[in-house]
Amino acid sequence: MKIYCTRPGCHRPENHFAELDDRPTLLTVQQKYCITCGMPLILDGRYLPDKLLGKGGFGAAFLAHDRRTPTQRPCVVKLFQPEGTLNPQQQAIAQSLFDREAIVLEKLGSQHPQIPDLLAYFALQTPGWPQPQPEKQYFYIVQEFIDGQNLEQELQQKGKFSETEVLQLLQELLPVLQFIHENDTIHRDIKPSNIMRSRSQTVSQSGRLYLLDFGAVKLVTGAVSGKSTTIYSSGFAPPEQMAGRSVFPSTDLYALAVTCIVLLTGKLPKDLFDAYRNQWQWRSHTTVSDSLAAVLDRMLLPTPSDRFATATQVLTALSAPPTPPKLPISGSPSPPVSPSPPPLPPTTISKRPFSTNELLTGAGFIGFEGCLLLISLEMIIPNPAVGTLCWVLILGSLIWVQYQRWLTTRHLVIIATLSIGLAMSITPLPWSVVLLSSASAGLATILATAIFRLIYSIISHFI
C-alpha cells in the first residue's frame, strides 16, 4: 500500500508498505512514519493519504481513505500550512480562515446536499525536519470526497458552455447561495475551480453541482466584523472585496456572474474587463438572449446596492416571462407594422449606471468649478444677466460631457487647474479666498448629492 506524506517540503513523499495490503494488519497497525522525514502518515489514527490533489498559499489537499470504514471510504484531507514566514497577526488571520472552513462545513454541510460534509478536524504535533528544527503543529480538515470534475477542468476539456448549460448552472447554484446567505455566511471565493460536478450515474443526465472550498468564507453575525480580508481570487472578486471593505450576498452574486461569462466565452476575466472604461465587455464574445445578458450585467455592476440583493431575486428575474406586445383595442384599426430595427451591438444595449463614488466625484467637481467660473465671469462680463447665462451654459456643458463619460479624472484635474489659474489672474481676491470658496462649494455639492441619493434610495426601497 502507498501512503503519501503530508509534510510540506518532503522531497520523497511516497511511501510503500507491502504489509498493509493485508487488511487485518491495516486495521491493527498503530502508526507508520515517512521514510524520508519521519512524519506520521496515518492521520488521526484512521486517514491514509493516497495522493496530492493540489496545493496553494495556505496548504494542500490530499485524496485519502478512511481505514475505519468497511469500504475504506475516500475522503479529502486538507492541510493548513501557509507558505513563507508569517508574523503572529498574519498567522492568526490565516488560522481563523482555516477554522471557519471547519465551522461552516460542520454547520452547513450536513444540512445541504450540495455542500461537502465535515468528517474530522484535528491538529498533529510532529518533530521538526530537517533536524534540528523545532517541533511543528499542523492542522487538518477531513471532508467528504466528491468524485467528479470542477468546471475549470470541464471548460478546458469541452470548450465554451452554452446558454442552456449556464442557465442550468444558475438554477442549481443560486439556491445553494441563498441557503448559505440565510445562514449568515458569505463564500467570497466563487469561481469555476470551486464548483464541482459529480460523475453522473446515467448517460442521459449531468451530475449534481457542489460548491467547494469554504476556506475564504466570512461569517457575518455575532462579534465577527463585516470587514473583508484580502483573500480573494483575482478577476472574480468585486471592487468592495478587493478594497478590503464590507462584503455582502451580492459579493457572491458578482463572482458567480463572472464565473458564468468565463464559461460562456472561454476567456479569462482579465480579457473581458475593460479597465479604461471600468466595465465588463463580454457580450461580443458569445451569443445569449437579452434576458440572460441583462441579468448577468446587473449582477456585474460595481456598486453592491445596484446588484440583486439576494440569490432568490436572480432566480425570479431568470424565470420572468418576456413582456408581451400590446394588442390593439377591439374595433380600432390596427396600426401599420413597421419592420423591426436591427439589434444594437451587444456593447451598446445598456449604459452602465454611475457608482456612488463617480456621482460624488462629479458633484464635487461641478461645485468647485462652478464657484471658480462665477468668480471669473463676474470680472470678465459686467452684465449680471449675461454672466449668469454664460455660467449656466458652461456648467451645463460640463455636466453633459461628464454624463457621457467623455472626461476622465485626468481631464477633470486639468480643467480645474486651468480654471484656478484663470480666476487668480483676473480677480483681485486673495488666492486663499478663491480656493477656500471653491472647495467649500465642492463640499456643499457633494453633501447635497449624498443626501439626495440617500433619500432616493430610501423612497425606492418602499415603492
**Catalytic annotation, residues:** 189
- Are 228 and 218 a contacting pair, CB within 8 Å? yes
Residues 6+ apart with CB under 8 A from 58: 80, 81, 82, 83, 94, 97, 98, 215
- Cell triple for 22: 493485508
What is the layout of strands, in order, in the sheet containing 59-66? 47-56, 59-66, 74-80, 136-144, 118-126
- Cell triple for 280: 465588463
Output b/e per residue, 139-177; b: 16+ Cβ within 10 A: bbbbbbbbebebbbebbeeeeebeeebbbebbebbbebb
Number of neighbours of residue 46 by Cβ within 10 angstroms: 17
Binding-site positions for ATP read 78
- Are 106 and 225 a contacting pair, CB within 8 Å? no
- Are 389 and 396 a contacting pair, CB within 8 Å? no
CA distance 144 to 154: 21
CA distance 65 to 43: 10
Q: Between the CA of residue 262 and those of 236, 301, 348, what are the distances in Å? A: 10, 16, 20
- Looking at residue 15, its amino acid is N
Provide the 8-state DSSP code for 33. Answer: B
- Are 172 and 196 a contacting pair, CB within 8 Å? no
- Are 63 and 49 a contacting pair, CB within 8 Å? yes
One DSSP character per residue, 185-221 reads: EE-----GGGEEEEPPSSSSSPPPEEE---TT-EE-S
CA distance 427 to 417: 16
CA distance 78 to 60: 6
CA distance 188 to 174: 14
Beta bridge mates, 74 = 65
Provide the 8-state DSSP code for 306. Answer: G
> Number of H helices and number of E strands within the chain?
13, 14
CA distance 372 to 434: 7
- Are 236 and 191 a contacting pair, CB within 8 Å? yes
